[in-house]
Homo-oligomer: A and B are copies of this chain.
Amino acid sequence: MSLHEADIHSGAGERPAAGEEGARGRFDRIYHVLRTRICLLDYPPGSRLREEDLADEFGISRTPIRRVLVRLETEGLLRSVHGVGTIVTDIDVEELAQVYQLRVELAELIGKLSPIAPDASKIAAFRGMLARCDGLLEQPDPREFARINMDFFHLLNSLTGNEPLREIAERLYYQTTRIWLKTASRLSQYEEVLQNEITIFHREVADIVSAVEVGDLEAVGHIRRSHISMSFLRLRNESRS
């Protein structure tokens, strides 16, 4: 039944052979590239993605590109309209309130459902994240901030062994993460807000690293929960001003 076992054949690799990649690997690669572009606002909300352009860029035809776009559409990041185009969904703070509510609840579950006790290398990864935050604090940059935030999320997500939970938390994260860059870039006191946000994020990372070091994953969940909640409230207040 299980087709998952790696086939150990005789000579040259018939499988993805180190350098190559199968159809599934290419799908994942393009999917992640496009998702990152959307969340870093390389494709701003409302902009159009021409299927043929993407096909040319990745050196394939429209067909496999469409698979990726369909996936991104089900995730809520795109919307394809017949005869019009494939446009990046616009997002609004109020519309994301429900997603944030759900993320708050799920954050706590990460420390409760099948928690994975972090080993030495994982703890090292957390400390490395803290170091990146130090650098960010000295040299603030919104794009780099978004990237670190993303990497930190994946690291946190790896603390639970519950795969469905990981998948869902990831999906919700990518539905909401754009909103900060979008609203912040339109604020007048942009520099101040960025610096402030980075400072708060640095504290969150420091707190969580402390909790990880002593192996208290439930505490990680609580810290994370409160920070997601507060982050949303700040966002809401800023967008109303």
Contacts and interface: CB of A to CB of B under 8 A. Distances in A.
A162 B109 contact: no
Interface in A86-102: 90, 98-99, 101-102
A228 interface: no
A3 B81 contact: yes
Contacts of A164: 98-99, 102, 172, 175
B23 A82 contact: yes
A163 interface: yes
Contacts of A187: none
A166 to B, nearest CB: 10
B165 A90 contact: no
Copy number in the complex reads 2
Contacts of A185: none
A113 interface: yes
Interface residues of A, number: 28
Contacts of A113: 98, 101-102, 105
Interface in A1-31: 1, 3, 22-23
A101 B168 CA distance: 14
Contacts of A162: 98, 101-102
Interface in A101-155: 101-102, 105, 109, 113-114
A214 interface: no
A235 interface: no
A114 B98 contact: yes
A98 to B, nearest CB: 5
Contacts of A46: 1
Residue from A90, A98, A161, A175 with most neighbouring chain B CB atoms (10 Å): A98
Contacts of A74: 71, 74
A70 interface: yes
28 contacts: A1-B46, A1-B90, A3-B81, A22-B82, A67-B70, A70-B70, A70-B71, A71-B74, A74-B74, A98-B113, A98-B114, A98-B161, A98-B163, A98-B164, A99-B164, A101-B113, A101-B114, A101-B162, A102-B109, A102-B162, A102-B164, A102-B168, A105-B105, A105-B109, A105-B113, A164-B172, A164-B175, A168-B168
